[in-house]
Structure 1
Amino acid sequence: MAPGRADRKQGPEGSSNVAPAAFPRSPPPALQRETAPGREAAPHGAGEGTAASLSPGNAAKHHGARHGAAADEEPPAHGGRGGGPGHRGGRLLQEPPPEPSLRRQRGVGGAGAASPRWSPGLLQVVKQCVRVPVFVMIRPRGGDFLYSDREVEVMKADIRLAKLHGADGLVFGALTEDGRIDTELCTALLAVCRPLPVTFHRAFDMVHDPLVALETLISLGFERVLTSGCDSSALEGLSLIKRLAEQAKGRIVVVPGGGITERNLQRILEGSSASEFHCSARSVRDSGMKFRNPNVAMGASFSAPEYSIKVADVAKVRTLNAIAKNIL
């Protein structure tokens, strides 16, 4: 770890009567990808009242919300207040490859996102193809959320670049080594983000005390927080998500995300009282390549075949939107 940030400790945020989650545990899919981070660069399809978000990583995600959706890290559908990831209207965001996501944007009513390494080119193309706010995920690398001084420099530079190229909002998260919100770093990054709205991503699911962390985010000025309830999926963390939403009392939008599908969306929205949600709504399609070299893998993992491509599934997005509209 680089000297400075990684070595610096921060005073306690306080405590609550919620028992800390049993960590370490393997991060949820959204975080694993972002550690490919944020999310693989890909846009989210979007419709009226939604926002698209671009984050590091490579799969597209959807956000459905009462106001709109955002294209951001991690992936998913989500609903919430206007101007941020997820708005009213049960819209979705996507996070796969740019082209498929953009194609699906038309007539679907969702929004798209990119992944950990978004690019000015991707942002510009997404902005040309959607009519909703586009949020950019700021994630310098995969792995944990404890950043070095040099990584902080990269994050600040990425924020400035995203603003320069038309981002409508930003998404990031940062923690101290003891699992608390890094208030010093977040304050510095929020200052660079101004006047754009900012969402705190699923780094929240790795905090020591979620109830205290929520108050910290509110005091810092974040508009949204994406969470699976500090569990492996939003369904398993549903009780905590509901508690967070009740505690928030409208001061911040609590957005459920992680493992949300057509089969459990209704239960999650009704059980959490959330007004927005985040989901991936992806399918896998076969590559159009006719010549294939089975002996070469372009990544470190062999779990994702080189000739299988994850794309936003229009049918899933429409189904999720329909479910959300009936509830939100």
Structure 2
Amino acid sequence: MMTRLEVCIDNLESLFTAQDAGADRIELCSALGLGGLTPSYGFMQQAARHRRIPVYAMIRPRAGDFCFSELEFELMLQDIAAARAAGLQGVVVGLLDEQGRVPATELQQLVAAAGPLGVTFHRAIDLSANWRADLETIVASGCERILSSGHASTALAGLETLQAMAQALAGRASLMPGAGVNADNVRTILEFTGVSEVHMSGMGWRGGMVPHGVNMGTSDDGRINITDGAKVAAVRALLDQ
């Protein structure tokens, strides 16, 4: 059974790197340093133009928690429409209510808005107050997969919960472990959970313009985070064994 590899990126340079290194699918984001936010419409269009593999756009209107206001929810619907218009293959969504539960009605609306696009439910499940019940809500909505670290900071630390999630899903949707996945642990994660796809960032960096003592934010403006093709290729090689 082939194990699929998804790579999250937040710039166009990394799209080419991830594809060349063996990714099977792209999670298209902005601001990976904030956990991934919705990419711009222009980025979606460029990714659709240059992709050789499926591209799923993150639909997350802001950083912080996943309890979104009515206006933020409307923005999510508009961004899903943008992903469809750009010609992408899917979207990545997630939301919780004030009790930390996945709201069935709102999730169904997001899936309906995606129409023919594939839908992944992201790591908001790792903040769920009752992941077992919320798995059922996610499956019933029509999401095709769930990205999770098993209610832990990394997939490796959440192995037991990931295994329980996979057993609870029983093939009704795919479970995709993510967070800290690399060449040192991917085989352990696969063998313990029995999943057929994994998610990684393969984060690296390169130098940018020489800084002049002024930063535009809290990050280092002289450093550009990019996908490290060698990290992705190393995981790809292990998956192909």
TM-score > 0.5, shorter chain as reference? yes
Percent identical among aligned pairs is 36
Gaps of 5+ in 2: 31-36
C-alpha separation in 2, matches of 1:293 and 1:196: 44
CA contact (8 A) 1:199 1:226 kept: yes
Tell me how far 1:163 sits from its aligned partner: 0.6
1:316 equivalenced with 2:237 (yes/no):
no
Q: Shift of residue 201 of structure 1? A: 0.4
> What secondary structure sits across from 2:65 in the alignment?
coil
Distance 1:314 1:226 in 2: 22
Q: What residue number does 1:210 align with?
A: 131
Q: What is the rounded CA distance, in whole Å, between the counterparts of 2:84 and 2:206 in structure 1?
A: 33
Higher helix share goes to which structure? 2
CA distance in 1, matches of 2:134, 2:19: 38
Tell me how far 1:184 sits from its aligned partner: 1.6
| Secondary structure at the counterpart of residue 242 of structure 1 | helix
Query: Of 143, 157, 161, which residue of structure 2 is paired with 1:222?
Result: 143
- The separation in 2 between residues aligned to 1:138 and 1:194, in whole angstroms, is 15
Q: Is 1:266–1:323's contact at 8 Å kept on the other side of the alignment?
A: yes
- Which of the numbers 12, 18, 29 marks the counterpart of 1:98? 12
Q: 1:90 to 1:254 in 2, by over 3 A?
A: closer
Aligned twin of 2:68: 147
1:297 and 2:215 are equivalent in the alignment = yes
Moved over 4 A (4+): none
Matched, 1:245 2:166: yes
Match of 1:306 in 2: 221
1:105, 1:130 within 8 Å by CA — same for their partners in 2? no
- In structure 2, relative to structure 1, the CA distance for the partners of 1:139 and 1:248 (3 Å cut) is same
Aligned counterparts of 2:85 and 2:225: Cα–Cα separation in 1: 30
TM-score of the pair, normalised by structure 1:
0.68
CA distances 1:171-208 after superposition (whole Å, capped 9, x unpaired): 10011111111112111111111122211000010001
Counterparts in 2 of 1:127-146, with a 5 A limit? 127-146=48-67
The reply to whether residue 184 of structure 1 matches residue 105 of structure 2 is yes
1:107 pairs with one of 7, 15, 20: 20
Matches within 5 A, 1:260-271: 260-271=181-192
1:92-111 deviation line (CA, Å, top 9, x unaligned): 42414222x13314532214
How far did 1:215 drift? 1.4
Partner of 1:233: 154
Between the two proteins, the alignment pairs up a number of residues equal to 233
**What's the CA shift string for 1:248-278, capped at 9, x where partnerless?**
1110101101111111111111111111111
Unaligned runs of 5+ in 1: 1-65, 67-87
Does the 8 A contact of 1:205 with 1:230 survive in 2? yes
Query: Does 1:166 find its partner at 2:87?
Result: yes
Question: Match for 1:174: what amino acid?
Answer: L
Q: Does 1:274 align with 2:195?
A: yes
